[in-house]
Copies of this chain bind each other. A is one copy, B any other.
Amino acid sequence: MTLPVTLKHIKAAAGRIRPYAHPTPILTCAGLDTMSGGKLFFKCENFQKAGAFKFRGACNTILSISEREAAKGVATHSSGNHAAALALAARLRGIPAHIVMPHTAPEAKKAAVAGYGGIITFSDPTQESRRSTLESVLEQTGATYIPSYDDPRIVAGQGTAAAELIEEVPDLDLVIAPVGGGGLLSGTAIAVSELSPTTGVIGAEPVNADDAYRSLQEGSIVPSVNPQTIADGLLMGLSQLTFGVIRERVERIVTVSEEAIVNAMRHVWERMKIIIEPSSAVAVSAILGDELDVAGKRVGIILSGGNVDLERLPF
């Protein structure tokens, strides 16, 4: 099957974002190697600008739109990492970013978006209100809508993280990425399968938000309905675009419990001395439990982000 995003798009994205995005470090940890039995390579997108891989896709997309479009700015609805990433990427291009956020969003998230110069419009916390508020922002401003994952330019941007990982650590047996809407996992799957065909790609998902797992089982998209998980970056369901890629290029999806996520997060904080958010810990917990055996394997893990509220830690 011809995919809507190819290695060519990821390479173009890598060239486009290079002056702006960090080429994030890859860390190892003897303690976690011992715990898992594998040799682990952590791609640290928690050190990415705005604290998450989302900056890659946002930056690639903003740099891909025309001068004429750019002049009117960009817009999205998001209360998470995509909002901050888009605001920062827009500022770097010198254009306005209109961000629709529910008024109930954490103050820290509002402050991050405002700190990057994003223009916030508050909505009610319902999907309907967020959508209609975005519609009226788009109408009033003429801004270009940049979705958080359902866009080939976003997927290509997110794939640049795994491309850097494969370039630096070429002989991996597996690469694991968390899956929510599927932008990161589908970009990762394209990059890895094209650059290193013998490397398997595995998604990791909270069992309490296992719509991607069930979508693969059923062969069609299962929507994400009221998921209850600490991994607040993984609440969205797959789109046709991301589902199509994941079905073709991802070996399997491993689901993990809330307890396993918190334990993995704690292990990374304590052993590696780095801050990762719960969504990143989902990928780590996949290799610390019983479901996936990585003994003797070389495993790349995408640590997707490090934005946590220090006032509300799970430990």
Contacts and interface: CB of A to CB of B under 8 A. Distances in A.
A306 interface: yes
A223 interface: no
A172 B270 CA distance: 31
Given A47-B272, A47-B273, A311-B315, 14 more contacts: A27-B47, A46-B273, A51-B273, A269-B275, A269-B310, A270-B310, A273-B274, A273-B275, A273-B306, A274-B274, A275-B275, A310-B313, A310-B315, A313-B313
Nearest to A52: B273
* Count class of interface residues, chain A: 10 to 19
A252 interface: no
Report the 10 A-B pairs with minimum CB-CB distance, sorted nearest first: A273-B306, A273-B275, A46-B273, A310-B315, A274-B274, A47-B273, A269-B275, A273-B274, A275-B275, A269-B310
Given A273-B274, A274-B275, A275-B273, A266 B315 contact: no
Interface string A287-315: 00000000000000000001000110101
A220 B110 CA distance: 52
Nearest to A31: B115
A25 interface: yes
Interface of A: 25, 27, 46-47, 51, 266, 269-270, 272-276, 306, 310-311, 313, 315
A310 B271 CA distance: 12
- For A266, A270, A306, A313, which residue has the most chain B Cβ atoms within 10 angstroms? A270
A310 to B, nearest CB: 5
A51 B47 CA distance: 19
Contacts of A27: 47
21 contacts: A25-B25, A27-B47, A46-B273, A47-B272, A47-B273, A51-B273, A266-B310, A269-B275, A269-B310, A270-B310, A273-B274, A273-B275, A273-B276, A273-B306, A274-B274, A274-B275, A275-B275, A310-B313, A310-B315, A311-B315, A313-B313
A288 to B, nearest CB: 17
